[in-house]
């Protein structure tokens, strides 16, 4: 016979009064077996009483720890997209590598989807992206970045997103 144990983590509010637990506060927990298996209920110190303990399979006292806030995204989606749009409007060839990296970032975040790759007569590959929400089409030249240059281009993109201009930008858009 197999017994499934699905005991929940501590709640964030008191079962009785519905007040939020504060970080570091004492909480009292009751485990009770019912028709659907084990159920956990958590109480603040004010609501914990003898009736709350009755019928419990187990009881214990603990300390509530508030969950850590979710980590911020290092690069905001809107910022990367607005920077891509801005750099494309400037038509400055120095930012070709950054434009490509931003497009790839937005593709990985499922904002852009690659629809086609075209090769011009001069051999330059153009990647055709479609914005998933607006259906806009973006034609992004593929600079065929080498792994050695990738770190410099990533530093340029981070600098552009952070509002800090890169040190020196060469003709290929690589930070020197």
What's the whole-model pTM score? 0.49
For the record, the structure tokens of 33 come out as 């077996």
Which of 139, 176, 142 shows the shortest CA–CA distance to 156?
Answer: 176
Residue 18: pLDDT over 60: yes
- Same domain, yes or no, for 81 and 64? no
**Percent share of the chain, pLDDT over 70:** 84
- Which of 15 and 158 is assigned the larger pLDDT? 15
- Same domain, yes or no, for 86 and 142? yes
Q: How many folded domains does the chain comprise?
A: 2
- Same domain, yes or no, for 82 and 106? yes
Q: Quick one: average pLDDT of 2-29?
A: 84
CA–CA separation, 77 and 13 (whole Å):
33
Neighbours of 121 (CB within 10 A): 5
Q: Is residue 122 part of a domain?
A: yes
Q: Is residue 172 part of a domain?
A: no
Q: What does DSSP assign to residue 168?
A: -
User: What pLDDT score does 117 carry?
Assistant: 93
For the record, the structure tokens of 52 come out as 């709350």
| Per-residue model confidence as pLDDT tens digits over 147-162 | 887 888 888 888 888 7
- Domain boundary among the residues 70, 91, 117 is at 70
């Amino acid at each position: 016979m197999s017994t499934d144990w699905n005991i929940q983590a501590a709640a964030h509010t008191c079962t009785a009064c519905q007040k939020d637990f504060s970080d570091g506060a004492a909480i009292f927990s009751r485990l009770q077996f019912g028709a659907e298996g084990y159920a956990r209920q958590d109480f603040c110190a004010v609501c914990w009483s003898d009736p709350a303990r009755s019928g419990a399979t187990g009881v214990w006292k603990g300390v509530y720890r508030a969950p850590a806030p979710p980590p911020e995204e290092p690069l905001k989606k809107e910022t990367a997209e607005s920077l891509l749009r801005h750099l494309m409007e400037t038509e400055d060839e120095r930012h070709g590598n950054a434009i490509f990296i931003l497009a790839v970032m937005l593709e990985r975040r499922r904002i852009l989807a690659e629809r086609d790759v075209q090769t011009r007569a001069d051999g330059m590959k153009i990647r055709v992206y479609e914005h998933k929400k607006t259906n806009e089409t973006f034609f992004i030249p593929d600079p065929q970045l080498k792994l050695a240059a990738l770190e410099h281009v990533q530093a340029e993109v981070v600098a552009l997103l952070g509002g800090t201009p890169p040190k020196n930008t060469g003709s290929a858009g690589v930070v020197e």
